[in-house]
Structure 1
């Protein structure tokens, strides 16, 4: 499965398949859970942070956080 940090094209519709790592509780508190649909909105000029839309909210993630979120393309 690709990681969120591997996705380079904004506007891709994605679904979270797995969340791991030291920031697991933080991701779960933000609603980034397996099965959740997310939209890749944009990335900073140097690549990170990235901005995603999850459950109607915009969230910025560092590369170290995005490395622990596995995603799959959907819809």
Structure 2
């Protein structure tokens, strides 16, 4: 399942980010988005972009296109 498919308030665990470039993957990892890390969708903008996600107690805004490249399991 993709991160963009989670509904508001739903929580999942990051399983992979293989579709992303290595530079983008490194930036996300520095922000705490690591494999096997719990991540939850806090809020979605009215038009669906961006998403507000919470990872390790920090809220991050991610573009929908980026969230579609992050794989999670519920």
Q: Distance in 2 between matches of 1:14 and 1:42?
A: 15
Q: Unaligned 5+ residue runs, structure 2?
A: none
SS in 1 for 2:66: helix
SS in 1 for 2:8: coil
Q: Unaligned 5+ residue runs, structure 1?
A: none
* Residue 33 (str. 1) matches residue 45 (str. 2): no
* Residue 11 (str. 1) matches residue 37 (str. 2): no
Number of residue equivalences: 71
Q: Distance in 2 between matches of 1:39 and 1:62?
A: 15
Structure with a larger share of its residues in helix = 2
Structure 1 runs (4+) deviating above 4 angstroms are none
Q: Which residue in the other structure is 2:60 paired with? A: 59
C-alpha RMSD over aligned residues: 0.9
Q: Distance in 2 between matches of 1:16 and 1:24?
A: 12
